[in-house]
Amino acid sequence: MSKFLIKRLLLTLPTLFGVALVTFLLIRVIPGDVVELRYSGDRGAVSQEVLDQERHRIGLDQPVWRQFLTWIGGVVRLDFGTSMWTGAPITEEIKLRFALSLQVAIMATIVAVLLAIPLGVLAALKQDTWVDYAVRLFSIAGLAMPSFWLGIVFILFLLVVVKWLPPMVYTPLWVNPKENLAQLIWPALAVGYRYSAVATRMTRSAMLEVLREDYIRTARAKGLMQKLILSRHALKNAMLPVMTVVAIEFAFLIGGLVVTEQVFNLNGIGLLFVQAVAHRDYTLLQALVMLVASMFILANFVMDIAYAWLDPRIRYR
């Protein structure tokens, strides 16, 4: 097992390196750089000399390959450097925002799982009845509604019907849990609905497949109660693909909330990403993309391990 773990872990390294390289090159193709943007307000009042000096100070005058080596050298030591725009250490810039995005992602996952598993199982058990159709329509609708629009509708509903607005300023969970939840539950619901749709569909199809297996027929034939067949035989086996979908969606939620954060005025990773693009803040962008991509690679890694561990048919070599 430990050999398999190490091999699988080593396999993630080339992908991570590739992500780093692609990110690094891609953002340098974006026209303009941070120095130009910072002084653009002065309308040419700044001499070329000052611009060159500033570029030299943050290392933008170096050849690209050397910049890359310096940066990668830092990343290996988990040192992401300082933001080119604010000058603050990257870890400081990201820390609070990451906590916020992580919390929304976790809450959305809870919403999604609580909706998806009962609905998916129900739809599979009542396949091709009106229950099944209703669940499928509900989940297809969830995939169709943009979560930022759902967010707008939530806010509108609270404003017009309940005459109450969720707090618009972020309070950390450990400072005031009530304020914090009152604000974050709405984005979590808006995103969680879409997310549950993906998971519901997966639960339904995985259950349908498992229910056709021989061991379920055997369990039925020996007179096992329906409840036990479901909980002990069917659900357990159907959960693996569902877990994969949940894990991957979770990883993408960390950075993929760009638009929802905008609607709810949340200062999370997604919004930071948009700002970093606008400022051409290369170091911050690189760190953010690496963070988001490694979350995804990590989720895949964890799921591979979980498969090997939970499913005895998969031999790990």
Partner 1 sequence: MAISPPFDQVVIEPARRPALAVVWEFARRRPLGAIGAVIIVVMLAVATLASVIAPYDPLAIDFGGMLASPSSAHWLGTDSFGRDVLSRLIYGSRTALLVGFGASLVGAIVGAVLGVASAYFGGRIDLYLQRVMDIFLSFPLIILALALVAILGNSIPNLILAITVPMIPRCALVIRSSALSIREMPYVDAARAAGFRHRRIILRHMLPNVMAPFLIMVTAFVGQAILLESSLSFLGLGVQEPIPAWGLMLSGAAVEFAERAPWMAIFPGLAISLSVFAFNLFGDSLRDALDPRLRTQ
Q: Please give the residue ranges that form the binding site for partner 1 (CB under 8 A).
A: 14-15, 18-19, 22, 26-27, 29-31, 133, 136-137, 140-141, 143-146, 148-150, 152-153, 155-156, 159-160, 202, 205-206, 208-209, 241, 252, 255-256, 258-259, 262-263, 273-274, 277, 289, 292-293, 296-297
As a whole number of angstroms, the longest Cα–Cα distance in the chain is 87
State the nearest-atom distance from the C-beta of 48 to partner 1, in Å. Answer: 25
State the nearest-atom distance from the C-beta of 300 to partner 1, in Å. Answer: 9
State the nearest-atom distance from the C-beta of 67 to partner 1, in Å. Answer: 18
Angstrom distances, CA of residue 313 to CA of 5, 201, 212, 243, 309 = 17, 25, 18, 18, 10
Q: Please give the span between the terminal C-alpha atoms of the chain, in angstroms, as a whole number.
A: 8
Q: Which is nearer to partner 1, 83 or 139 (CB)?
A: 139
State the nearest-atom distance from the C-beta of 120 to partner 1, in Å. Answer: 13
Q: Are 265 and 287 in contact (CB under 8 A)?
A: no
Neighbouring-strand partners of residue 89: 82
Q: Which residues contact 228 (CB under 8 A, 6 or more apart)?
A: 219
Give the pair of three-digit tokens for residue 270: 């997604």
Q: Which is nearer to partner 1, 18 or 172 (CB)?
A: 18
Q: Which is nearer to partner 1, 146 or 172 (CB)?
A: 146
Tell me the C-alpha distance between 12 and 7, whole Å: 9
Q: Which is nearer to partner 1, 252 or 307 (CB)?
A: 252
Q: Could you identify the residue written with the tokens 């009530």?
A: 178
Neighbouring-strand partners of residue 82: 89
State the nearest-atom distance from the C-beta of 22 to partner 1, in Å. Answer: 6
Tell me the C-alpha distance between 253 and 104, whole Å: 9
Q: Which is nearer to partner 1, 81 or 255 (CB)?
A: 255
Q: Which is nearer to partner 1, 164 or 174 (CB)?
A: 164
State the nearest-atom distance from the C-beta of 270 to partner 1, in Å. Answer: 8
Backbone angles phi, psi at 168, to 5 degrees: -100, -5
Give the pair of three-digit tokens for residue 84: 């080119």
